[in-house]
Structure 1
């Protein structure tokens, strides 16, 4: 049989490649070739995706000599982490998770609402034209995560520029990306020193205190990696998802109208938005098989690199009725957008809060808001870990 080349071509804005439907039916676990020439295994069915996510024999540490190279020219070692697998991951997650519990996130609602309101005030004060990525998604996500860490607003833009350079796929050289990651590491070290001198009531000050404690539960390497993982993950992924949430609604005017008529439905609708529009950077979630593992009746050999395809799982008709239909009234949507198992996205509750408040504010404050270009003409920004609209040019009616 001919080896398939991956990634596949996406035929439309939120349409998945036809190959995924065929693979789910015929070869749900299959070996393919990526652009580097290396081979990986794709996992495409919902049940199999959740099984891999929950199986500790599939490691998140893909920075190994025999792991597949996924993206040409991307120095994957730069985005590695010292706590990707148990027991280090379990210990690390226990230390940082208290800042991301649903209860703690809910306590942040009023502050996040204040940030959203301020951004919408600026948008409304303009000329009835705005880019909702630049004017809302970017400043909201970076303001929230930096505030959680106790980082001054003056440092937001410098960090954003470094992250944009380090995480792009095509718009910077390998040397430029390496320099950006080195600068972000130094930025993190400087923050640690500042919090050590003047601690505050924030997550980073608490982590520094843990690091400086006699038990040494958090090493310096882990502390710097935590800052990078949280700032990058909390900033980049949330920006992309806010953009995709708005774009999928603009692309489905009937669903946008339904939420405008019944805004109380927005929290429930988020699950359908995440199921349908949570497209990643075009590859999948990578894992490394630490031993032979059977998945979907196929033995994935030890040392193989696996790509878990969440968007294919979330369109699996074995799990979802009429999965290609986008319906904000859909109920019982147990999607995989935030992953599953021990590595489920730590910031899921915070991301949902930002999405909820951003969507509600746009629908409330911008009457008749609409794109000024066709949805298919919106340019996309592809990063190492996320993909979303590069811009969202909109206009709206006078209040």
Structure 2
């Protein structure tokens, strides 16, 4: 029994359930990133044996413990002999289709390794940075060339002012006036009518609009720290793989599990023990389609005839049928979702890793905008947009407000 004077040990940070899970995931990612060579062959191919065993066991239960009882005309079989023959015939077609597609995915002749199509070499050298001039000086005139200095690759305020995209969010400060565009020399048209309306209109346009000072004090870009990446990811220097010592072709990714670069890398599938890439993606989609049809058929047929046999006078539940029903239901949902997601990505021209990168970028953008504007500002913007569309308020009045 602990004495009352015993001090309690302070609880470690992250000792909750969520903290333990996040810490374990972080350690797993660190180990995977630190690994240079591929995983052992037995580890990569372990799930292949499990998948083949599940296929064989499901075939045994469906044929031997369901259809054979119907063919032998047992009283508690739940169906007639003709029904048993029909079930076996449809099962054979689906099972052979799934098995053929699985063997095609496992075949080494359809692997998509980049080293088989690219010769190794030394890493390309980075070229010297050249000055960047975004505008055509011949079109803009001599004033632009005299006032604007030469630009470098280093982001700065001068580069933002002269960029086609305009100033960046980091350089939109709350103090000081907004950057004004540097237009070419403007020549006032001659007044041929003898009045001063043209000059008056120009003077009125040059005057600051009401509320301009308030707009300059609070800029919409305050607090937003977003800038596109300046890294040229498509250059050979960025696509060089130090592990395989090759310049990776476009859409090629290095798989740490297989230890090599894969052409048009989609993802590493543990159920097939290798990566899904350029040459075997069609067989992988064919396998998911066949597995989805097979598991749905097995699950539906076993449920119907197991319930019918259990409700018969001399019927009884077969525990092995219940196991296959549960396994078939789980794999039916998994393979169907996999099939639908891959068909959608193929229609968009994306791979799994490209789709994940695009989704992560969108989530980061949403979080950055939500931190600055918040829900109330979003509702106000939507309300203003609706008012402008319906014609209730003019667009100029919205911007002034």
Q: TM (normalized to structure 2)?
A: 0.21
Q: TM (normalized to structure 1)?
A: 0.21
Larger Rg over CA atoms: 2
Higher strand share: 1
Structure with bigger RCO (C-alpha 8 Å, 6+ apart): 1
